[in-house]
Structure 1
Amino acid sequence: MKALVLTGTKQFDIEDLPTPEIGPHDVLIDTAYAGVCGTDHDLYAGRPGSAAAVPPIVLGHENSGVVAAVGEQVTRVKPGDRVAVDPNIYCGQCEFCLTQRPELCDHLSAVGVTRNGGLAEQFSAPASVVYPLPDNVSLKSAAAVEPISCAVHAVDLLKLHPYQKALVIGDGFMGQLFVQVLQAYGVHEVDLAGIVDEKLKLNAERFHVVNTYNTLRESIPEGRYDVIVEAVGLPSTQAQAIAAANKGAQVLMFGVGPQEAVFEMNTYDIYKKQLTIQGSFINPLTFSDAIALLSSGKVDVDSLISHEFALEQVQDFLDGAITGVSKAVVRLAE
């Protein structure tokens, strides 16, 4: 089978690999689409994602496809089923798994990170992380179930109420997803700050964002918001998130920045405003909710997917030779 193999830092090779073997509890999947995200940029550059990727490895952790074969103990899905795959596989035995915090698993493995993923014509996964799709969810849209599920986990960590005013900082794909997920969870006003006028306009017109701020030329109001989602991961935007917080606000630090990055905050403000600052990591058991949001139409990813690549174009994209990308997916099947 044809596969894009990460063979070193910033080095891909197209290779012909054998069909993955599956065990009694595994599923073999013909890949339809694989999303490319910020984590893939990090892994390509030699930085860790949810875990470190050790070459040679096939990336691709946002995957959809059609079941080609199943192990003898698998009853959850059958050949021909259209599916999306949660990349994260937990050990089920460590302290965190046994205390209902599997996302913090000491032995986390992941499709497309620690084991071969969807940037290949076929890949395998345990049946426990393979989810059948409703008929009204396309395979292209289903490649975004994983990022939606990460946003769902993040908002599950918050206490949300309809009266709240929310701000999302960051107009990348994840920031735009958060706009829709917060709305789906009943927050009555969701605003968006970013740096691309076209994205801000799209979210105002199509997704009913109330206020938009292009932070290249205007400031975010201070002390206005009850919920702030920081979806960039830079010290400057993290500081903006704290400054935008109203009394009693919740600040979600979702953006993934450099491991050595730090930002300054006024600790008295945390005390005086009674702020909650919350981190969020991956997506434990939120795939069903993410699929339901797609199926119900409460989350629209098709409007956000700007580019569809072949395997041969992925390296150019990650090298920055292809610009203007809101969200890219790689098409593996006709």
Structure 2
Amino acid sequence: MKALVMTDVKKLEVQDDYPTPTIQPNEVLIHTAWAGICGTDKALYNGLPGSADAVPPIVLGHENSGVVAEVGQDVVGFKVGDRVSVDPNIYCHKCFFCRTSRPELCEHLDAVGVTRDGGFAEYFTAPEEVVYHVPDNVSLEAAAVIEPISCAEHGVDLLDTHPYQKALIIGDGFEGQLIAQILRSRGLQEVTLAGTVDEKLANNEEHFGFKTINNLTHPEEVQADSYDIVVEAVGLPKTQEQAVEAARRGGQVLMFGVGNPSSTFNVNTYKVYQRQLTIQGSFINPYTFEDSVALLQSGDVDPLPLISNVLDFAHVEDFVSGKLGNISKAIVKVAGEEA
């Protein structure tokens, strides 16, 4: 089969004769339709960790949709021809964190497209427990990004949301844009998206009616002590500090952006104390796939207007190496809707 293989750090190679995977009794074989490209893929390409370490040679691609091509003998919930999407994160169910209802912190996390071959190939396998049916009214293209929706959903789940609240999302990357939609679906009275790319901001104003701020040219519009919820979706010390400053008394700050492992930021601990702020981290997507499928099915979240680039295997490296800029979201067409 054809696959895009990371043969070494900063090296991707299209191979036409990569072995088609063999399924285990509890697994399904999936004919890949679409595969999303994530910031985590950029990190893995550059030798940095994602949810776990990726050891070359490996086929990346942890955001996927497709059609079931074969089922193992122990699989009961799926059949050949089913349209599916896959939660890449496979928990051990045995460690301390799994046994205390915090599987996202699993000490033995396995992940499709990170520790085992993923969707940058014509076929990949996954255990039945992480495979989800795609509703008839949801395209396989949209289903390919259920995983990032589920990560955004987990972050919002960690917040205490109410209709009276005003929220600010700092960061106009794909996840920041998704978080804005999910917060709006929770009934908040005002959601503001602050970013740096005018085209992305204008697109969100046009399609979703969000108030937007160009945080590069007009950072003063992000007012201090003004928001009940602030989501930092960039991962830079400057915006992390800005997020804490923007939170009003009793506010919640969600640190969602993935920072450099060696980065730190300054925080005025007296302000955290005096404003009674909550500062919360968010990691991956424990059991939020069903909710994310429902958000797509209902139309409360629509990722398609955010997808800016459709690539083939040969051009993925241009994206993860940084040669392509100002991308809202890039996905790979493998077999497409005809999978």
TM-score > 0.5 by shorter chain: yes
1:187 CA displacement? 1.3
The size of the alignment, in residue pairs, is: 334
What is the match of residue 140 of structure 1? 141
What is the match of residue 120 of structure 1? 121
Asked whether the equivalents of residues 198 and 214 of structure 2 are also in contact (C-alpha less than 8 Å), the reply is no
Structure 2: distance between partners of 1:295 and 1:247: 36
Asked whether the equivalents of residues 90 and 110 of structure 2 are also in contact (C-alpha less than 8 Å), the reply is yes
1:199 CA displacement? 1.4
Normalising by structure 1, we get a TM-score of 0.98
Residue identity in the other structure for 2:327? V
1:305 CA displacement? 0.3
Deviating more after overlay: 311-320 vs 301-310: 311-320
Residue identity in the other structure for 1:78? K
Residue identity in the other structure for 2:43? D
What is the match of residue 39 of structure 2? 38
1:176 CA displacement? 0.5
Q: Give the SS at the match of 2:306.
A: coil
Structure 2: distance between partners of 1:137 and 1:255: 28
What is the match of residue 290 of structure 1? 292
1:211 CA displacement? 4.5
1:13 CA displacement? 1.2
What is the match of residue 181 of structure 2? 180
Asked whether the equivalents of residues 197 and 214 of structure 1 are also in contact (C-alpha less than 8 Å), the reply is no
Structure 2: distance between partners of 1:262 and 1:217: 24
Structure 2: distance between partners of 1:302 and 1:326: 11
Residue identity in the other structure for 1:10? K
1:210 CA displacement? 3.0
What is the match of residue 195 of structure 2? 194
Of 315, 328, 331, 2:330 maps to 328
What is the match of residue 26 of structure 1? 27
Residue identity in the other structure for 1:38? G
For the aligned residue pairs, the C-alpha RMSD in angstroms reads 0.9
Structure 2: distance between partners of 1:227 and 1:73: 45
2:18 counterpart of 1:17: yes
Which runs of 5 or more structure 1 residues have no equivalent in the other structure? none
- Give the 5 Å matches for 1:1-334: 1-15=1-15, 16-219=17-220, 220-334=222-336
Structure 1: distance between partners of 2:38 and 2:188: 27
Normalising by structure 2, we get a TM-score of 0.97
Structure 1: distance between partners of 2:183 and 2:57: 38
User: Where in structure 1 do 4 or more consecutive aligned residues deviate above 4 Å?
Assistant: none
